[in-house]
Structure 1
Amino acid sequence: MGNVLTVKDLKTAYKSRLGQYTYAVDGVSFELQEGRTLGIAGESGCGKSTLALSLMAFYFPPLTYLSGEICIEGRNIMALPYEELRRTILGKELAYIPQAAMNALNPTKRVLNFVRDILREHCPEKSKEDVQKMLAERFALLGLPERAMYAYPNELSGGMKQRVVIAVSTILDPAVLIADEPTSALDVTSQKLVMKMMKDMLRLGIVKSIIYITHELPLLRHITDDIMVMYAGQIVEHGTTEQVIFDSIHPYTKALMGSIIVPEEGAKDWKLAGIPGAPPNLRHRIEGCRFAQRCRYCGEQCPNHTGQRNRALSDGRFYRCDLAEAQLREVYARDYQR
């Protein structure tokens, strides 16, 4: 299968009223193949949500596009006028489930009327009856009761509102669905339902591929094929889910995994280790390694803390570090014995 989404050297920033830039997404490149789910993980403030907004071309102040390409099936959407982008790409090729999606519905409108307003922009030829039929079929496919179409948002439970937002976001069968922490405000049962629903949409061909954003790395084990780990606006590791979770290679990814409680046999005796310090201030350009000040392995072996060497391993993964794989595995064998 070919690539549905290709991103090349994407750079976006937040511009203050004084003209200062905070470089939230700095040189991000990746490819997403049809039929696969890509997870994006990292701690709060690493640029995950900004990357999602950037991929959707939601460039409204203070978010500013600087450079790079975002190609949907070979078509660079950043070269399109915004009106054409809104009519032909957003919702149809790219769909977005925002953070706090449960608050995304209009509280003064029934769900059906809310969807009619959306489709009036993208499919003006659709009648009210057509919209009602489309929504009813989508609700039935995703296990939502038909009565939810005629409800106000406050009449729905949190889990049901979340599922309704997912149904509405995918009503036009987009090529790529970008889900920004869609289960963070839900209980465990509702989380399981939402993740199952998203996997079903991929299996049924409702969407071609999914980007799933979260700060919970273990959660990605159950839904993604590949994982990208972000730190300070850059991708520091990219590999399959099994590689990143069970055989992390970048010091930041390894530290993240070492700070997580996992439900494994004997885990209660494991020692957890936090990551010291705080992420760097992205208002200033950082030419060297952005994790250097927090990395326990940074020292003489990292000349000038450049951190700019992108290393590709034989198993297909990529990581961004000056230290070679053999050096890292040697220190991990000593420090991460559980």
Structure 2
Amino acid sequence: MNKVLDVKNLKVYYKTLKGYVKAIDDVTFHINQGEILGIAGESGCGKSTLGNSLILLKPPMNYISGEANLNGINIMNLSKKEMKNIRFKNISIIPQYAMDAFSPTKRIKTFISDLVREHGIIPNEEFFKKVKERMKLVNLDPDVIDRYSVELSGGMKQRVIMVISTLLDPDLLIADEVTSALDVSSQRFVCNMLVKFRDMNIVKSMIFITHDVAVLNQIADRIMIMYAGRIAEIGKTETILNNPKHPYTKALIKAIPKSDIRIKEKKLSSIKGTPPNLLNIEEGCRFRFRCPLANEKCLKNPPIKTYEDGHQVACWNVGENNE
């Protein structure tokens, strides 16, 4: 199966006055063509930094080492001009807080025109015919392009952003927390539409970033769990949700609210403690400070072990008893 994205030992740090914050620290994964990879974890785990580093490296982010090969080209080595040429066309993003990106003084049509001109596209009548067709696809009236952003609801803005981010049919779309500000029904609609974009080949492959693991059941083919700048576990969606191996993943799954359980009968589980400070953090498993299985072996970085169906886990205490 062809890999659209192949990331190897990627390190992206934030430079501060006190030193480097190791936000992405030796991360390796891939995305196959036609696949949707869900990335989940607590706030500060590095998932949004990972997505943003693939589309636009800007201070205080610093690329340290590693590769991110998009269709065989290491985008970490591209110049600003080269990256600008592939951005939006080969790789695109629906950024976090995208709904706040619109200028209240510009109509949606003007916003789109200004954006595509920067990429050498003439926003003529033929182009906007395609835009209107895409608007219909997400259940929006084509006349929405003649409105101002303040005239649109949050859900409508989100759908407009989805259309804009995928106008050039990118090979890889990064959707960063696109459902976090939406109600449950809107979340379901957005997830279904993104899957439809993939099925219609509007988007070849996708990274779907979220802090809500439960949402990934609606959209992801595989799930990657991140913790403190590193990968804890990767596997098929049904495997991660129904048979997780890493202690952190298990804790995340237990914290998902169940619709058929009353609060008086069973309280939600929580993960004790807080994530470590990634400023010049020492060697070792980063979850060991909160892990019930932590021991002396955890003072060293755990290798990523591979199990059946490509299920990968970074934990010293998993494997012997298939726990």
TM range (shorter): over 0.9
Secondary structure of the structure 2 residue equivalent to 1:315: helix
1:81 matched to which residue of 2? 79
Partner of 1:34: 33
1:288 aligns with 2:284: yes
Q: Equivalents in 1 of 2:194, 2:37: separation in Å? A: 13
2:311 pairs with one of 293, 297, 317: 317
Q: What is the match of residue 188 of structure 1?
A: 184
User: Counterpart in 2 of 1:100?
Assistant: 97
The SS at the match of 1:69 is strand
Distance 1:76 1:216, change over 3 A: same
Q: Which residue of 1 aligns with 2:23?
A: 24
Equivalent of residue 219 in structure 1, options 215, 220, 228: 215
The unaligned stretches of length 5 or more in structure 1 are 330-338
Counterpart CA distance in 2 for 1:136 and 1:123 is 20
* Local SS of the residue matching 2:196: helix
Write the distance in 2 (CA, Å) between the matches of 1:15 and 1:130.
Answer: 45
Aligned to 2:167: 171
Q: d(CA) in 1 for partners of 2:172 and 2:247?
A: 30
> How much does 1:166 deviate?
0.6
Q: Is the 8 A contact 1:36 1:209 kept in 2?
A: yes
Distance in 2, matches of 1:187 and 1:303, equals 43
Question: What secondary structure is seen at the aligned counterpart in 2 of 1:269?
Answer: coil
**Distance apart, 1:297 and its partner CA:** 1.1
Aligned-residue RMSD, C-alpha: 1.7
1:230 offset after TM fit, Å? Answer: 0.2
The 3-state SS of whatever aligns with 2:173 is strand
Q: CA deviation at 1:15?
A: 0.7
The 2-side partners of 1:313 and 1:252 are apart by 18
Aligned 8 A contact 1:249 1:319 in 2: yes
- For residues 250-306 of structure 1, the C-alpha deviation after alignment (integer angstroms, 9 at most, x for no partner) is 01001111122122478973443211111111001321110111001113xx42522
| Contact persistence 1:306–1:322 (CA under 8 A) | no
User: 2 CA distance for matches of 1:268 and 1:212?
Assistant: 34
- Matched to 2:82, the amino acid is E
CA gap of 1:83–1:303, structure 2 versus 1, over 3 A, is same
Amino acid aligned to 2:313: Y
AA aligned opposite 1:303:
K
CA contact (8 A) 2:133 2:142 kept: no
| 1:1-338 superposed matches below 5 A | 1-16=1-16, 18=17, 20-56=19-55, 58-87=56-85, 89-124=86-121, 126-264=122-260, 269-299=265-295, 302-303=296-297, 305-327=299-321, 329=323
Residues matched between the structures, number: 323
2:245–2:318 contact (8 Å) kept in structure 1: no
Identical counterparts, % of pairs: 46
Rounded to whole Å, the distance in 2 between the matches of 1:45 and 1:245 is: 22
Q: SS state of the match for residue 92, structure 1?
A: coil
Q: CA contact under 8 A between 1:112 and 1:135: conserved in structure 2?
A: no
Aligned 8 A contact 2:7 2:28 in 1: yes
Q: Give 1:134 shift.
A: 2.5
Contact 1:104 1:165 in 2 (8 A): no
Tell me if structure 2 keeps the 8 A contact 1:105–1:165: no
- 1:332 matched residue in structure 2: none
Distance between the aligned counterparts of 2:194 and 2:310, measured in 1? 26
Deviation (angstroms), 1:137: 2.0
Q: TM-score, normalised by structure 2?
A: 0.95
Task: Answer whether contact 1:179 1:211 (CA < 8 A) is retained.
Answer: yes
C-alpha spacing 1:283/1:174, structure 2 compared with 1 (3 Å): same
Distance 1:34 1:117, change over 3 A: same
Q: Is the 8 A contact 2:19 2:279 kept in 1?
A: yes
* Shift of residue 79, structure 1, vs aligned partner: 2.0
Residue 3 of structure 1 aligns with an amino acid whose one-letter code is K
Q: 1:265 to 1:279 in 2, by over 3 A?
A: closer
Give the TM-score taking structure 1 as reference length.
Answer: 0.91
- C-alpha deviation, 1:235, in angstroms: 0.5
Return the offset for 1:121. Answer: 1.4
Q: Distance in 2 between matches of 1:320 and 1:267?
A: 33
Aligned residue type for 1:311: K
1:229·1:237 contact (CA, 8 Å) conserved in 2?
yes
Structure 1 residue 237: deviation in Å?
0.1
**Other structure's SS at 2:305 match:** strand
* 8 A Cα contact 1:41 1:217, kept in partner: yes
Higher alpha-carbon deviation: 180-189 or 307-316:
307-316
